[in-house]
Amino acid sequence: MPRPSRHAPDTLSRAPHWSDQAACRETDDRSIFFPEDSPRGLVLLVTREAKAVCARCPVIEACLQAALERPEPNGVWGGLDKDERRALRRRQQRRRRRRNRTQGGGDGTAARAGTG
C-alpha cells in the first residue's frame, strides 16, 4: 500500500486483505494452482489437488469473486478452474440479461411507457 504522504513512515501496515487468510498461502507448491503449466497427463490430477486445498479455504468465496471480477484467465481460483469460471460467467451474464428483460417489461410495455 502506498504511503499517504511522503512524510508518513514506511512502517505503516497495509489493510487486511481476504487473501491473507487463504489456504493456498500455506501450500508449499503453489504451482498446483496453475495446472496449465503441468505436463499434459497430470493436469487433471494437479487440478484436483488444488481444488482440495480450495475446499478447506475460509475465503473461497472472496477468491472466486476476485477471479471473476478481473477476469482471471488461468489457474484454479475459488475452487474453480478456468473453464468452470468461464461457464459460471456465461451463466451469470445470461441471468442478468433475462432479469433486465423481465424488469424492462419484456413485452414492450416499458418502451411504450416512455413515449408520450
DSSP code, position 5: S
DSSP code, position 11: T
Residue 100 assigned ligand-binding role: no
DSSP code, position 19: G
Residue-range domain boundaries for the chain = 21-103
Residue 24 assigned ligand-binding role: yes
Q: Residue 105: its pLDDT value, please?
A: 56
Q: Tell whether pTM > 0.75.
A: no
Q: Residue 3: its pLDDT value, please?
A: 52
Give the C-alpha separation, 41 to 24, whole Å: 23
Total number of residues shown for the chain: 116
- With beta carbons less than 8 A apart as the criterion, state whether 12 and 1 touch: yes
- The grid coordinates listed for 53 are 486445498
pLDDT along the chain (116 residues), means of 10: 60 83 93 88 92 96 94 93 94 92 64 45
- Residue 78's closest CA among 101, 50, 103? 50
Residue 7 assigned ligand-binding role: no
Q: Residue 62: its pLDDT value, please?
A: 96
Residue 76 assigned ligand-binding role: no
- Residue 33's closest CA among 97, 95, 82? 82
